[in-house]
Amino acid sequence: MNPLPHFKKIRIPPLLIAPALIALATFTAVPARATPSCGLTSTNLLSPVPAGYFASGLLNLMCRSNLPDWLLITRVRGDSDLYITQNTFQPGGQSGWHTHPGPSLITVTEGTVTVYEDDCTSTTYSVGESFTDIGCGDVHNIRNETGAEAKTIAVQIVPHGATRRIDAADPGCAQVPPCPAF
């Protein structure tokens, strides 16, 4: 005697299970994965690492030049570390998508690099050109899309004790090719 006579066993045909699993896998959110760097060597140029330490208040600077149209204002609350790093990019090498917890001042010292932003725009810089990265969540990927080695020098100010680089997910910029085999 069946203790639950009003319930009937439902049989689901196996052919309906596979499409349901595929649909579930397709529409289930998957955490985005960070993109690794490749063909990139980073060298700290000063020891110890970090190269410098600034107690809170030491980076509160204001300077008016005697030249017109030049004014420097820097105000940092909290202790800070300074890094000076040379990045060497092999042909096809890239930094991978990342951000920093503070600003970077970057100068290209050899070759050419292309900086991709998370809005999928890009800008190319060559020897002697400089650019800034505000950090603080500004996600980017730096690539060497030439056949020659490229080098940059980055001066970075980050909160004391913080990691210098924070990996980030690929924002879906289709124009950034994957790393070549090195």
61-102 pLDDT tens trace:
999 988 888 999 999 999 999 999 999 999 999 999 999 999
Residue 160 backbone class (left: φ over 0; alpha: ψ -120 to 50; beta: rest) = beta
Higher pLDDT, residue 180 or 15: 180
Residue 29 covered by a domain: no
Q: What backbone torsions phi and psi does residue 110 show, to the nearest 5 degrees?
A: -160, 135
Over 90: is that where the pLDDT of 166 sits?
A: yes
pLDDT at 138: 94
pLDDT at 44: 94
Q: How many domains does the chain have?
A: 1
Q: Position of tokens 């896998």?
A: 25
Q: Provide the CATH number for the domain around residue 52.
A: 2.60.120.10
Residue 15 covered by a domain: no
pLDDT at 173: 83
Task: Give the residue among 78, 50, 41 at the shortest CA–CA distance from 156.
Answer: 50
Give 1-51 pLDDT, tens digit per residue. Answer: 555 455 444 455 555 444 443 333 333 333 445 678 999 999 999 888 899
67-80 as b/e: b if 16+ CB within 10 A: eeeeeeeeebeeeb
Residue 27 covered by a domain: no
pLDDT at 23: 39
